[in-house]
Amino acid sequence: MTIDSETPERPTSGTAAVRELVIDRLNAAGFQRPTGTTVEAHRAELERIAAKLAYFDRADLSTLAEGLMSMGEGKAGDRWPREVRVLKLAHTISAPPPGFDRKVTSFMACAVGRRAQAEGWAGPLLSALRKPGPPPTSDYALEQLRAQAAEERRRLQIIEERLAAGQVLAEDDARFRSFWDRREKVATQLVRGEAAEGRA
């Protein structure tokens, strides 16, 4: 077999790409484990980071590595930043899709998520969970989500009536309908505990 006929290697992705483009890059640049952290604990922390950032594409991983190069800790600035700082920077570059965000997956699969699905407000709950901050748990916050769901269903009904009448949808209505369908599908998957990696 000639070199020309060989299949070129595909670039790594997922956790392997995180290791290659971020972890290996920073280690090669001289980053060391944080002071007071055992080798085993540091290795476990890097593995958690790799798993949590497996959704990143290669370009975003390179951007993340560049950003982390200036975030070294310790007197010499050559110590790995802690997991929380790495993830905070990572999420400003590319927010995780629902299936990679532990807050979203655990909350959607719990009793509140199941109730939201049964009562028809799982979509707004998913949107609220995707925002920074704690999950909505107060009676007031949950009532707001129910009201939002009712308003969205009214808008969707108007859109469906226009379609049934043969009208061409305005661009924002078409976008909303597509977003609503996609988000409802992801919300249903998450309530069932299924992997849902698409963006909603």
Q: Which of 25-34, 55-64, 89-98, 116-125 has the lowest mean pLDDT?
A: 89-98
Averaged pLDDT, 27-47: 94
Is pLDDT at 24 greater than 60 in this prediction? yes
pLDDT computed for residue 20 by the predictor: 95
Matching CATH number, 14-94, of 1.10.1760, 1.10.3470, 1.10.8, 2.30.30: 1.10.8
Helix (H, G, I), strand (E, B) or coil at 32: strand
pTM over 0.85: no
Residue 72 CA to residue 61 CA, distance in Å, equals: 17
How many whole angstroms separate alpha carbon 26 and alpha carbon 30?
6
For the record, the structure tokens of 81 come out as 């930043």
Q: What is the pLDDT of residue 194?
A: 73
Q: For 43-77, how does the pLDDT look when each residue is reduced to its tens digit (9 = 90+)?
A: 999 999 998 898 889 999 999 999 999 999 999 99
Q: Which two tokens stand for residue 158?
A: 């108007």
Quick: pLDDT tens for 151-166. 999 999 999 999 999 9
- Determine the pLDDT at residue 198: 47
Instruction: Give the per-residue pLDDT at 175.
Output: 94
**Exposed, middle or buried by CB within 10 Å (0-12, 13-18, 19+), for 154?**
exposed
Rounded Cα distance between 57 and 95, Å, is 12
Annotated domain spans of the chain: 14-94, 99-191
